[in-house]
Structure 1
């Protein structure tokens, strides 16, 4: 399994749904809360303007709660 990185923010509903989804699948992920300016800058460098943002391995960023896309990317790992 490739490394999963989740960019989130406290109080973000879609972020909460995505964390619950990843947890329900038993997937390990590194969460980076963008309230830390360095993580916010990483999101900007990815050219993403909304949250959550998920990186799975070398895939393009997945923005928002998109379990179907995440499932596809995980199955390709």
Structure 2
């Protein structure tokens, strides 16, 4: 099973893009909006300062890398 966590914020087009992309591909994920200080602090603990910040099977991804996401999650393009 894949573990995907996406740290997001409101009015973030790249956040919306990756959430829609994963949903369209049938991939479930956990969204953590950094409007909540707990989630913001978790993200900062990874030295991440921009959204979307993605944890893919506990591996930090600081920018959207569709090739890596597709490969890691076995998504056919």
Q: Tell me if both proteins adopt one fold, taking TM over 0.5 as the criterion.
A: yes
Q: Deviations over 1:38-74 (max 9, x none)?
A: 0000010011111101112132x11233211211222
Q: TM-score, normalised by structure 1?
A: 0.87
Residue in 1 aligned with 2:28?
28
What RMSD over aligned residues (CA atoms) do the two structures have, in Å?
A: 1.1
- Structure 1 runs of 4+ off > 6 angstroms? none
Runs of 5+ consecutive residues of structure 2 not aligned to the other structure: none
Residue in 2 aligned with 1:70?
69
Provide the aligned length of Structure 1 versus Structure 2.
Answer: 74
Report the Cα offset of residue 15 of structure 1: 0.2
